[in-house]
Amino acid sequence: MTRPRSTLVLADGTAFEGYAAGFTPEGGITTGEFVFNTALSGYQEVITDPSYAGQIITFTYPHIGNYGVTPLDDEATRPWCRGLVVRDLSPLRSNWRSSEELEAFLTRHGVPVITGIDTRRLTRHLRSHGALPGAFGVGERAEVDRAAREATGTDGRDLVSQVTTPNPYTRGEGELHIVAYDYGIKETMVAQLAHRFRVTVVPAWTSAHDVRALDPDGVFLSNGPGDPAALGAHVKEISDLVGTVPIFGICLGHQLLATALGATTFKLPFGHHGSNHPVRDVTSGRIEITAQNHNYAVAPESLARAVVSHVNLNDGVIEGITAAQERCFSVQYHPEAGPGPHDARYLFERFDHLLRTGQLETK
């Protein structure tokens, strides 16, 4: 297959040569913040994870698309990422579950791709320089350069409002009722909750008052894209809820909960994006291999009203906190695992236990 040439340029001017695939955007160029993901499987879940809104995802594993896509593995109704960088895009899908080739799916959903890239060089660059904005596309190099210079990162941007559900909806039939804030919630998260509870998923801008009106047994704070520091309004609503109802947060939800508890967040050099991060549950000592996708983290010195429950063994970053008094806990990583290992799904049981007993189980 002959594909048109395409060029990738980062904001610092570093350039890569490749070929265009997938969707052709207007003007032929797409921009966003470049991040990488090291997972060996689960590209569809990653691509459809709303947390990647505004970002261009580099897959470090060279062969992407091998097993096609299936609606069963969608994490949202559409991908929110701005583009994909891959080494090799499989034209063929080989798996009994799949219903469509990855490239057709991407084209259908408006996701541009650049293939044939030395993704290892790009990853090493992002590792040493941090997540960078940039652009890729066909056409004049000068155009791509300009787009790259003008591209913006995710700092200080509210991307949640783009991806949250416009209307509340309910799932599940458990005896307990929880309200799940959708800051960009993943389908697997909804499924894990609905497996145990009656869930009302509400838009990110829902007020604490309106949540209380739904009379939930607990509140869940979902993952989502972008900089938690840009989401002060949401934090305020959470602060209102803290102490009045048990709360469980994941990823962005964790950062917002921590902020509501008085902590601050900071941007990691290049974030955690993969399915192989070791996390220690500090109370049990057990190690979980976890799926992660975050660029921001909770600053340890800022944590006053909560204690650290989980740490990342690679770099010591806070991966979970608990505030027993307030019946709140949250984790930075993805226990729902879509994609990723199932090692931490026990946290949903812990939430269940918290709702039933008011106690935070620590094992």
Partner 1 sequence: MPRRSDISSILVIGSGPIVIGQACEFDYSGTQACQVLRADGFKVILVNSNPATIMTDPATADVTYVEPLDPDVLTDILERERPDALLPTLGGQTALNLTMELVRRGVTERLGVEVIGARPEAIDTAENRELFKAAMADIGLAVPQSGFAHSVTEALVIAEEIGWPIIIRPSFILGGAGTGIADNAEDFTRLAAEGINASPIGEILVEKSIAGWKEYELEVMRDAADNCVVICGIENFDPMGVHTGDSITVAPIQTLSDVEYQAMRDDAFAVLRRVGVETGGSNVQFAVNPDNGERLVIEMNPRVSRSSALASKATGFPIAKIAAQLAVGYTLDEIQNDITKLTPASFEPVIDYVVTKIPRWAFEKLPGATPELGTRMQSVGEVMAIGRTFGESLQKAIRSLEQGRMGFALATQNEFADLDDETLWHRCVVATPERLFALHEVLWRGASLEEVVRRTRIDPWFIEQLMRLVALERELHTVEVSTLDAREWRRFKQAGFSDPQIAALSASDTATVTRARRAAGVVTTFKTVDTCAAEFDALTPYHYSTYEDDSEVRTSSRDRVIILGSGPNRIGQGIEFDYCCVHAAMALRSMDVETVMVNCNPETVSTDYSTSDRLYFEPLTPEDVAEVIAAEQAACVDGARVIGVIVSLGGQTPLKLAHTLDPTLVLGTPVAAIDVAEDREQWSQICHRIGLRQPPGGVVLSLLEARKVIKDIGYPVLVRPSYVLGGRAMEIVYDDAALERVMTDLTSATGSLAREGGVSQSRPILIDRFLEDAIEVDVDAVRDASGDMFIAGIMEHVEDAGVHSGDSACALPPQSLSESVLERLHEYTARIAHELGVVGLINVQYAVKDDEVYVLEANPRASRTVPFVAKATGVPLAQVAVEVMMGVTLVQLRERAVVPATTPVPEYVSVKEAVLPFNRFPGVDTLLGPEMRSTGEVMGIGESFGIAFAKAQLGAGTGLPHEGRVFLSLADSDKVAGVAVAERLRELGFTLAATVGTAGYLRAHGVAVDTLVGKIGAADLGVDAVSLIASGEVNMVVNTPSGRSARADGAAIRMACTVYKVPCMTTLSAAQAAVTGIADTRERGWRVASLQELHR
Residues marked as catalytic: 251, 334, 336
Intra-chain end-to-end CA distance of the chain, in Å: 54
213 binds partner 1 (CB under 8 A): no
Report how far residue 250's alpha carbon sits from residue 350's, in angstroms, rounded to the nearest whole number. Answer: 13
Interior/surface letters 4-27, b for 16+ CB within 10 angstroms, e for the rest? eebbbbbbeebebebbbbbbbbee
| CB-CB contact of 94 with 9 (8 Å) | no
70 binds partner 1 (CB under 8 A): yes
Rounded to a whole number of angstroms, the minimum distance from the CB of residue 75 to partner 1 is 11
314 binds partner 1 (CB under 8 A): yes
Distances in Å between the Cα of 104 and the Cα atoms of 139, 263, 316 are: 22, 43, 40
Q: Residues 232, 238, 240, 245: what is their CA dihedral angle, to the nearest 10 degrees?
A: -170
Q: Quick one: which of 100, 101, 118, 155 contacts partner 1 (CB under 8 A)?
A: 118
Distances in Å between the Cα of 79 and the Cα atoms of 139, 170, 205 are: 25, 22, 21
Q: Quick one: which of 313, 357, 358, 359 contacts partner 1 (CB under 8 A)?
A: 313
Instruction: Tell me the two tokens of residue 265.
Output: 């967040």
130 binds partner 1 (CB under 8 A): no
Query: If binding means CB under 8 A, how many residues of this protein chain bind partner 1?
Result: 56
Instruction: Tell me the two tokens of residue 235.
Output: 């934090």
Report how far residue 76's alpha carbon sits from residue 43's, in angstroms, rounded to the nearest whole number. Answer: 13
152 binds partner 1 (CB under 8 A): no
Rounded to a whole number of angstroms, the minimum distance from the CB of residue 295 to partner 1 is 14
186 binds partner 1 (CB under 8 A): no
Q: Quick one: which of 98, 115, 200, 330 contacts partner 1 (CB under 8 A)?
A: 98
Q: Indicate the pairing of strand 307-312 with strand 318-323.
A: antiparallel
The interface with partner 1 within residues 237-276 (CB under 8 A) comprises: 274-276
Burial class (CB in 10 A: 0-12, 13-18, 19+), 171: middle
277 binds partner 1 (CB under 8 A): yes
79 binds partner 1 (CB under 8 A): no
62 binds partner 1 (CB under 8 A): yes
Residue pointed to by tokens 């869940």 = 220
Cβ closest to partner 1, residue 59 vs residue 181: 59
Cβ closest to partner 1, residue 73 vs residue 352: 73
Q: Quick one: which of 87, 157, 196, 350 contacts partner 1 (CB under 8 A)?
A: 87
124 binds partner 1 (CB under 8 A): yes
Instruction: Tell me the two tokens of residue 100.
Output: 């469509």
Q: Quick one: which of 120, 209, 236, 356 contacts partner 1 (CB under 8 A)?
A: 120
DSSP 8-state class, residue 255: H
Cβ closest to partner 1, residue 36 vs residue 80: 36
The interface with partner 1 within residues 28-47 (CB under 8 A) comprises: 36, 38-42, 44-45
- Using CB under 8 A as the criterion, which residues of the chain lie in contact with partner 1 when the complex forms? 5, 16-17, 36, 38-42, 44-45, 60-63, 66-67, 70, 72-73, 87-88, 90-92, 94-98, 118-121, 123-124, 127, 274-278, 280, 285-287, 289, 313-315, 337-342
